Amino acid sequence: GDMGFLVSCILVMALICQSHSHSGSPQARIKRYQETPWSDPNDCTQPRQPLIMSNPFNFSVDIRMPGVLPTSSDSYYCVAVPVPTSREAYIVDFVPHASMDTAHHMLLYGCRAPYSTKGFWDCGTEQGTCQDEAKIMYAWARNAPPTNLPKDVGFKVGGDTQITYFVLQLHYGDVNSFRGIITDLILYLPSRQPYVAGMYLMMSLDTVIPPGKTVTNADIACTYLSYPMYPFAFRTHTHRLGKVVSGYRIRNGQWMLIGRQSPQLPQAFYPVSNAIDVRYGDTLAARCVFTGEGRTGKTRIGGTSNDEMCNFYIMYYMDNKHAVPYMDCMDHGTSGLFRGIPAEASVPIPVSPDKLVSMVHGSAHRDGEDDSELKQPKRDEEEVPDQGAHLEEKAGWPEVQLQLGQVSGLALDSSENLIIFHRGDHRWGVNSFDSNAIYQQKALGPIQQSTILVVDPVKGSVLKASGRNMFYLPHGITTDKDNNYWVTDVALHQVLKLSRDGKDTLLLTLGEAFVPGSDHGHFCQPTDVAVDPDTGNVYISDGYCNARVLKFSPEGKYLTHWGDVSNRRRRGPFRIPHSLAFAPDKRELLVADRENGRVQCFMADTGEFVKEIKKDEFGGEVFAVAYAPVHSGLIYVVNGESPYGNFAPLQGFMLNYSTKEILDTFAPETQKFKMPHDIVVAKDGSVFVGDASSDSVLKFVPSESKFVLTCMLSPLHSSTPEEKEKSSSTGASAAQGLSPAVLTTLLLLLPLLLVIAVGAFVRWKKGRMYGAFTVSHLSLFLHPLPGKAAGTLNLGNFFATHKGYTRQGFDRLSTEGSDLEKDDEDATDSENEEYSAPPPPGISSQ
């Protein structure tokens, strides 16, 4: 009897571990979704694994392409998998995990009749993706952020949508580094969601770009005549001549930016610039800016590499009772409408050569156009911080003790070396300035120690020292693209540019020494500097007694300023703009507004307010801000003690730029923060914080990810506090009620469980090492949700009905950024890749 009981327990525990080793919270799935290999779909001897059900209400579907061996670079392959339910379901999240070395881009379509339902096929030929109309639901492009749907929003599949298959299209870059691609689909069936996602396409049909003309605008505008919609992502698309594409909502004569992007950057969906709604009677407007330079003939709208396109996509959601899944706009708008468009819409966005994408949309170059401008050197992909990793203090760093005074500023050079700006034996005290901000301790002379230290980020050893006998009270520091130093000194009321060679060569001086002021030639205790890596323009936060940000040319010419009392923003003036960070991928300047306890974001080119991030967790003071252009943008801040009684622990924060969500908090373990004064983040995710009170610099690194095997079935919804309390008490009661026999049985099972765990780990490790299965993966989370069926309009078919247009290449879309140097060789995008925007059933916004 006891032996039978033991065997039964062993079988039950093994089955639980076998069935639920992939279970966990939705957040855990999003951040670290486990890969479960499939068999080769072309191998008839091994049946495809059944649908994985992590609980009775969830479906997990893997789409894989094992055995693919492309014969040439820039190949396109597709694989189809059936929607695993005939009921209505909604995709509510996309989580790509794609290799940038191999996958140029991935597109997910929904349709009823894919070209094949067995294995994979070459969809870069005339075969395409689907025999019927393919509806795009997701686009991932190399170096572009993932698309995140808002809570309770989803794309409808199954039911009456005519979407019974998912088709995944992969563009492989270099054949020499080929591997397989993975996509995981997870469906949540029981819960109902109130919102439906849709697509609004704005497209120019008749733009003509004259040869040699520097600027040609393509303008599109329509009056919105449907129920309220809420944009949350946008995407731009042109061919090679496009410089910038912008989209706006116009209400009561006010233009509100939806999104603005260079079409030469990866053409995925990006988060909208402003969280807005679009209501009946509003106007939606878009502008594409082209140049005809380098062309010898007129360029028209079309699908080949020598034609152009002007598309602005808005991904939105609506209340499901009135949802329209697809809408479009192809009008020019009323006469004179675009006279009021913001100036930014006509300003090209600079794109560095290493970020240019291959914009070829056909293999034929009828004009003999030279592609040399698209050629790029092959470069190694840099590690990026893991959005799900917790930052922990690096113990034992620095390995040698640094002789520091008050640490006021930090920066990184192009080699990722850490630059420390400190005050030596000078300290900012109550007697440092009088009531007019005049420095009172000039008699002490300048700081004799080296105030600028270049430090090895790994060991913490000093590589170079400079800045002797120059500064009185250092504050902020940054570097430009040439590694020159830009520093501020609050005692001098100046901003200085120093040579990178460590010889303290003064290259530029802004402001008058020891003379505070508020005009264009003076500062009052300036705090920080940021430099635009593309234009070289310089931004200065000024400061403790002037509440403004000033913009100068690289040569030191005043350009503009904003934020002071005479130029109030609608969010109120600054109260000590204390730190600056430049977001190069968004062309925005981030300002740590210290006493207002917030971070504000502004368009770098115009100073236009974009957004504000203010959290109760900050406690009323934000001392410094840093930015990392990964995962759609990560913002790092450190807070400070508030004199107004808003107590909050001193710590660092990592936030998602788009959602403003706090992703992580971190603080030192060896000592407490006393006055964290500045923060910088390296490309590998390491974070450095300078503390002005403890005269130290601390390093934080992402914690190592760990494989965790769980044999407990976890619910997919978050437990309420009451449920957690009930569960805790129930568990405690159960533990107290365990009999000695049960405890003995559990102890006997421990060795077996250890063996099972090791076996599962080996199997997981083997799957990770199986080259054909480990390049990328995409997780989709779906909910059932009532909504309307989507009709379709294929752009190729649409233009084929218009005289003078050909279908050839018109469905193609460049969503990719160039992977390798081979991308310049007539890189073509496959048929049906460009988004097909169906007309709304019965309702039009035109």
Measured over the CA atoms of residue 51, residue 54, residue 58 and residue 64, the dihedral's sign is: negative
For residue 748, which phi and psi values (nearest 5 degrees)?
A: -65, -30
The answer to whether residues 814 and 357 touch, using CB atoms and an 8 Å cutoff, is yes
Whether residue 426 is annotated as binding a ligand: the answer is no
pLDDT of residue 168: 84
For residue 291, which phi and psi values (nearest 5 degrees)?
A: -125, 140
Whether residue 544 is annotated as binding a ligand: the answer is yes
Whether residue 309 is annotated as binding a ligand: the answer is yes
Residue where the block lists tokens 């752009």: 795
Spatial distance between the Cα atoms of 599 and 571, rounded to a whole number of angstroms: 12
pLDDT of residue 658: 85
Residues in the chain: 846
Q: Which two tokens stand for residue 52?
A: 């994985």
pLDDT of residue 177: 53
Q: Between β-strands 676-681 and 687-691, what pairing exists: parallel, antiparallel or unpaired?
A: antiparallel
Whether residue 631 is annotated as binding a ligand: the answer is no
Which domains does the chain carry? 51-352 (2.60.120.230), 407-702 (2.120.10.30)
The answer to whether residues 209 and 299 touch, using CB atoms and an 8 Å cutoff, is yes
Q: How many CA atoms lie within 13 A of 516 on its CB side?
A: 19
Spatial distance between the Cα atoms of 485 and 505, rounded to a whole number of angstroms: 10
Q: Which amino acid is at 47?
A: P
Whether residue 678 is annotated as binding a ligand: the answer is yes
Q: What is the 3-state secondary structure (H, E, C) of 592-605?
A: EECCCCEEEEEECC
The answer to whether residues 493 and 525 touch, using CB atoms and an 8 Å cutoff, is yes
Whether residue 747 is annotated as binding a ligand: the answer is no
Give the list of residues 6+ apart from residue 123 with CB closer than 8 angstroms, or none: 76, 77, 78, 115, 129, 169, 830, 831, 832
Q: How many CB atoms lie within 10 A of CB 560?
A: 14
For residue 130, which phi and psi values (nearest 5 degrees)?
A: -135, 150
Whether residue 332 is annotated as binding a ligand: the answer is no
Whether residue 654 is annotated as binding a ligand: the answer is no
pLDDT < 50 positions in the chain = 7, 10-58, 100, 179-191, 357-384, 566-570, 705-739, 741-742, 766-779, 781, 783-846
The answer to whether residues 259 and 236 touch, using CB atoms and an 8 Å cutoff, is yes
Give the list of residues 6+ apart from residue 570 with CB closer than 8 angstroms, or none: 609
Give the list of residues 6+ apart from residue 758 with CB closer than 8 angstroms, or none: none
Whether residue 422 is annotated as binding a ligand: the answer is no
Q: Is 27 helix (H, G, I), strand (E, B) or coil?
A: helix
The answer to whether residues 597 and 640 touch, using CB atoms and an 8 Å cutoff, is no
Residues carrying an active site annotation: 104-105, 169, 171, 237, 239, 309
Whether residue 239 is annotated as binding a ligand: the answer is yes
Q: Is 391 helix (H, G, I), strand (E, B) or coil?
A: strand
Beta strands in 324-417 (DSSP E): 326-329, 391-393, 407-412
Which among 616, 688, 589, 752 has a CA at the least distance from the CA of 17?
A: 752
Whether residue 410 is annotated as binding a ligand: the answer is yes
CA 710 to each of CA 8, 760, 822: distance values in angstroms, whole numbers, following the listed order: 20, 10, 44
pLDDT of residue 574: 93
The answer to whether residues 177 and 774 touch, using CB atoms and an 8 Å cutoff, is no
Determine if residue 424 is left, alpha or beta; phi over 0 gives left, psi from -120 to 50 gives alpha, anything else beta.
left
Q: Enumerate long-range contacts of 296-300, CB under 8 Å, 24 or more apart.
A: 296/211, 296/367, 297/211, 297/367, 298/208, 298/209, 298/210, 298/211, 299/208, 299/209, 299/211, 299/241, 300/207, 300/208, 300/209, 300/804
Whether residue 171 is annotated as binding a ligand: the answer is yes
Residue where the block lists tokens 């030929």: 125
